Amino acid sequence: MAPVLDPSSTYWFTDADEFADASRDKTGAGYVYSRWANPTVDAFEAAVADLEGTEGAEAFASGMAAITSICLASCKSGDRIVAARQLYGGSHELLASILPRYGITAELFDVHDFDGIEAVLAGAKLLLCETIGNPRIEVADLPTLANLAQNAGVPLVVDNTFASPALCRPVELGATLSVHSATKFIGGHHDLLGGIACGDFEALRPVAELNREFGATLSPFNAWLALRGLVTLPLRVERACASALLVAEYLSGHARIDRVYYPGLDDDPSKPLADKLLGGQGGGTLGFDVAGGREAAARFQEALRLTRPAASLGGVHSLIVHAASITHTQLNADQLASIGIAEGFCRMSVGLEEPHDIIDDLRNALDETA
């Protein structure tokens, strides 16, 4: 009934030939060494591949390990990646600062700038974007991007973390790989780090081979926890979407909130794409601008009692991050504006608490700090 947790790092053989064959093959029928393959990790990979509708999946120690492995497996020195500007901070850092040290460069475009992307795509090794992108919770037009990528013969890699396979299956929309931070919705309980890439065996093979030597592989225990998280994924996502919509609607009508970013709201620019690609759902994450700027938003965040100021998203607890005081502290108001973030911008991940308790908490914190 419950999946078997097999924490073994190695597997013993009685037959020398069998040991030699298995070691050469690394991921064949028998297990040899858990950096190469492990039964609990395999079970997790099979479950996520099933949810994403892909031939296979490859698990990693974290979402960043998955994204880094994909970039390194696809590129060598002198190669180029094209990416949407609406990227997770770690991915942005990887493309902007780390990969250039190894001769791999990236060109970033607004995710809706199809002309700009098309103009530079030929000869690039990857097109990278997020289904629902940071910071303004924008939905990417995946079929259009997949079309551009296919015409240029470039693999499209979609970070599907914010949507989860419960809302979107990017490979069915034309992506080559769909990648997740399993730390977020897939795990769902704030108790594991993990990553996973999903796609055809052919597309996954170089990524898996690279990571087998790099060793950023998922631990069996984290795979086991993530398998447990997956059982409730559709229910958790359904609840998070329903509650996030209520929260977004509440905040939209509040005098101290300048603007709400949520693809589930009728007047949100991403609503048509959410209708087309996410089954009309807006996801569990929303953004909003607290009036009064940096100080007001920081005080508001401190006054919350239920929603916790913490990094991460997609779990059972509601979490909030005030960008200007947590993730983008070095930027002044003008610099923040240039990347589309207001000084009072907060990103909130709506958890599984009673939605009216979440809203009461927001109301109290806004009133207390008015």
Ligand X SMILES: *Cc1c(COP(=O)(O)O)cnc(C)c1O
Q: Please, what's the b/e burial string for 8-17 (b: 16 or more CB within 10 A of its CB; e: otherwise)?
A: eeebeeeeee
Q: 58 or 130: whose CB is closer to ligand X?
A: 130
Q: Which of 181, 211, 281, 349 binds ligand X (CB under 6 A)?
A: 181
Q: Which of 54, 68, 178, 183 binds ligand X (CB under 6 A)?
A: 183
Q: What is the DSSP string of 276-308?
A: HHSTT---SEEEEEETTHHHHHHHHHHH-SSSE
125 is catalytic: no
Q: Which of 31, 162, 250, 288 binds ligand X (CB under 6 A)?
A: 162
Q: 57 or 257: whose CB is closer to ligand X?
A: 57
Residue 296 C-alpha from the chain's centroid: 29
Q: 22 or 158: whose CB is closer to ligand X?
A: 158
Under rule CB under 6 A, residue 264 binds ligand X: no
Q: In sequence order, what are the beta bridge partners of 288? A: 260, 346
88 is catalytic: yes
Q: In sequence order, what are the beta bridge partners of 80? A: 105
Amino acid, single-letter form, for residue 158: V
Q: Give me the half-sphere count of Cα atoms (radius 13 Å) on the Cβ side of residue 314.
A: 29
Stretch touching ligand X by CB under 6 A, among 11-19, 43-51, 156-164, 253-261 = 156-164
- Closest CB 119 distance from ligand X, rounded Å: 26
Q: Write the interaction track for ligand X spanning residues 79-98; mark x where CB under 6 A is met and - where it is not.
A: ---------x-xx-------
Q: In sequence order, what are the beta bridge partners of 289? A: 259, 345
- Closest CB 133 distance from ligand X, rounded Å: 8
Q: Which of 34, 40, 161, 217 binds ligand X (CB under 6 A)?
A: 161
**What residues have CB less than 8 Å from 64, skipping those under 6 apart?**
90, 91, 94, 181, 195
Under rule CB under 6 A, residue 212 binds ligand X: no
DSSP 65: H
Whether the bond into 135 is cis, omega within 30 of 0: yes
308 is catalytic: no
Under rule CB under 6 A, residue 130 binds ligand X: yes
Q: 350 or 366: whose CB is closer to ligand X?
A: 350
Residue with tokens 């589309």: 340
The closest of 357, 360, 329, 358 to 345, measured between CA atoms, is 329
Q: Which of 169, 184, 294, 347 binds ligand X (CB under 6 A)?
A: 184
Active-site residue, from 184, 212, 239, 256? 184
- Closest CB 127 distance from ligand X, rounded Å: 16
Phi, psi of 143 (to 5 degrees): -60, -40
- Closest CB 360 distance from ligand X, rounded Å: 27
159 is catalytic: yes
For 46: left if phi > 0, alpha if psi spans -120 to 50, otherwise beta; the answer is: alpha
- Closest CB 89 distance from ligand X, rounded Å: 8
Active-site residue, from 6, 31, 88, 261? 88
Cβ(281)–Cβ(265) below 8 Å: no
Stretch touching ligand X by CB under 6 A, among 97-105, 158-166, 295-303, 348-356 = 158-166
Residue numbers at the binding site for ligand X (CB under 6 A): 62-64, 88, 90-91, 130, 159, 161-162, 181, 183-184, 193, 195
Residues carrying an active site annotation: 35, 88, 159, 184
